[in-house]
Amino acid sequence: MSLFRTSFVFLMLSLATACGFQPLYGKTTQSTDVREKLAQIYIEPIEGRTGQILRNELLDLANPGGIPDQPAYRLVISIEVQKVGLAIQQDATKTRYNLTLNSKFRLTDAAGQDVIYSGSTQNIASYNVVQSEFANLSAANNAEKRAALVAAEQINQQLSVFFSGR
């Protein structure tokens, strides 16, 4: 690498750090202060099996120690699951589906009165349809679980970034 390229890369890195740039998955969003604030969130139960998977994963990510005794925040999440057939054969049978999980969430104070932060996620998981009904059911359940796990990670990351800036 030439001296010009090396000095250019060094200059760009120093400018990026000077403007307050912080990587999204850096140590700042996972600091002790952020983890303490995440541990003070009570996550409201979510309807359905997919909601239960989403809530359990969020509990594991935000507060591995369990539900807080004196929560400072409440997290309310609503989800919507849609299945859309993609690969349609000539006889009108569908051989592939896209499952879309839309989640909207809002973080409120402990009393649930003031909304402190709100956001949303959208996750798509695909699965194939075959001759076996059991395999189809299993594939659909697996797609819902995969979408819920990714949604939980995204919600946790959004809350971490929010708390790191506070």
| CA atoms of 144 and 25, how far apart (whole Å) | 25
How many folded domains does the chain comprise?
Answer: 1
Q: For residue range 56-111, list pLDDT tens digits in order.
A: 999 999 887 788 888 999 999 999 999 998 877 778 778 899 999 999 999 999 88
Burial 15-53 (b: 16+ CB within 10 A, else e): eeeeeeeeeeeeeebeeeebbebbbbbbbeebeeebbeb
Residue 15 pLDDT level (bands cut at 50, 70, 90): low
Average of per-residue pLDDT across 45-50? 94
In a domain, residue 109? The reply is: yes
Cα–Cα distance between 65 and 88 in angstroms, integer? Answer: 47
Residue 16, in any domain of the structure? no
Q: Is the pTM of this model over 0.85?
A: no
| Averaged pLDDT, 141-161 | 95
Structural domain of 72: 22-164
Residue 95 — φ and ψ, nearest 5°? -115, -5
Task: Specify if 7 maps to a domain.
Answer: no
- The CATH number for 64's domain is 3.30.160.150
Asked if the structure places residue 3 within a domain, the reply is: no
Q: What percent of the chain stands above pLDDT 90?
A: 57
Residue 58 lies in a domain: yes
Q: What's residue 30's pLDDT?
A: 62
CB of 55 closer than 8 Å to CB of 43: yes
- C-alpha span between 31 and 33 (Å, rounded): 5
